Structure 1
Amino acid sequence: MSTAALRSTNRLNRSVVTRLCDLLSSSFHEDALARWMIPDERLRAELLPGFFKVFVELSAAYDGVLMTPDGDAVLLFLPPGAEPDEAALDEAFAGLLGEHMDALRSIIRLQAQHHPEEPPHYYVSFGAARPGRQKGGLISGLAGDLLARADANGSGVYTEASSPGGEAAGRRAGFRRLGVEIVLPDGGPALRPMWRDPR
């Protein structure tokens, strides 16, 4: 499969960012984590594109966007050593999410408690494929590109699966469970921390 890594924020023109945000928003609209964070369906559809725009631009700043040439699948990640400005991210998300920011802060806090500090590793935040192309191997192809890069660097890869299907896909790619599930409060869903050693 031919994939293309977008190498810098400058390569992410406005139309590409919009396309990727729409793709991610539609893919995660019914995700348990998104529903817990923004319960109202209409408001969730309104807020998710801006939410994902922050993640797309953050990953792009670290050369961490992989997408198919047609833009029908995307994988966002951060490389080893990435140090995002957490205060700036908090401010950006707060401006977007308003009253739902407390829910996001809860997610971020729990993720940070479970995130491995060592060894240095790639961190995959989101992956999505266009509806109708979801089981066609697009995400697996993008993940294969990232895993090959991680293997060449001798680095592990960490992610958190938000669904049983995501966990199953991770296991097929060589990931294993790492520690206990990250369970969100008030009857919220669980994230499944996963790790892959370099090969």
Structure 2
Amino acid sequence: MSGDDVRVRTLLRAFGDDEFARWLLPDREHRHRVYREWFGMVVPRAERLGEVIVGADGLAVQVWLSGRDGPPSLLDEAGERRLAELAGPRVERFREFGELCAEHHPAEPHQYLAMIAVDPSVQSTGVGGRELGAALRKWDAEGLPSYLEASTARSRNLYLRLGFRDIGSPMVLPHDGPTMYPMWRDPAA
């Protein structure tokens, strides 16, 4: 994956310094190095096993995986090993997050929105809602429900407006980590 891939760049700009990223990897330089390569592994895997949707301007990226056979994984075994090399001892936070997500992940077949990234230059302009709405209409046409974990109360509110609802209790990440909100959306008729 090229270092100038617009998808990786948008993912890094959107998530590189948020609360969740800082919880995973506190050192900014280390975090950006790990995230750049991690996103570079996630995107091609999602293209093979799901769908990566990029807005026409490249400022919004959605990473969808099929949840038809249980909780999907963002990385294969080789990717997991590479992530461990990159993250060092902080890989434990990635594992803790993955285990918590797997515990909350619904068993019913669905489409899983692993990530939606909106470039900071256009956040709060409606780009994310518009792009996500288009993807949800596609899943609606196929009769597929959707699942995600909202990473902030603000994003949770957007998802509520788009027809998602909370399922189960919020996921509180250990070690004073942020709260995530598991959310489900039945397909619209």
TM-score, structure 2 normalization: 0.89
**Could you tell me which residue of structure 2 aligns to residue 68 of structure 1?**
55
User: Which whole-Å CA distance do the structure 2 matches of 1:138 and 1:62 have between them?
Assistant: 25
Which of 115, 129, 135 is equivalent to 2:105? 115
Asked if the contact 1:75/1:127 (under 8 Å) is kept, the reply is yes
Is residue 106 from structure 1 mapped to residue 96 from structure 2 by the alignment?
A: yes
Preserved CA contact (<8 Å) 2:43 2:52:
yes
Correspondence list, 1:143-158, <5 A: 143-158=132-147
Task: Give CA-to-partner distance per residue, 1:89-110, whole Å, 9 cap, x none.
Answer: 4223223322221110000000
Give unpaired runs (5+ residues) of structure 2.
Answer: none
SS class of match (1:132): helix
Match of 2:184 in 1: 195
Give the aligned partner of residue 92 of structure 1. Answer: 82
How many percent identity over aligned positions?
A: 32
1:65 and 1:75 in contact (8 A); partners too: yes
Matched, 1:50 2:37: yes
Q: Which amino acid in structure 2 is aligned with residue 154 of structure 1?
A: G
Identify which range, 60-69 or 84-93, moves more after superposition: 84-93
**Which residue does the alignment assign to 2:28?**
41
Distance across 1 between alignment mates of 2:37 and 2:3: 14
What TM-score do you get using the length of structure 1 for normalisation?
0.85
Unaligned runs of 5+ in 1: 1-12
Which of 2, 27, 34 pairs up with 2:14? Answer: 27
The alignment yields a C-alpha RMSD, in angstroms, of: 1.9
1:157-172 map, 5 Å: 157-172=146-161
Q: Number of aligned pairs?
A: 185
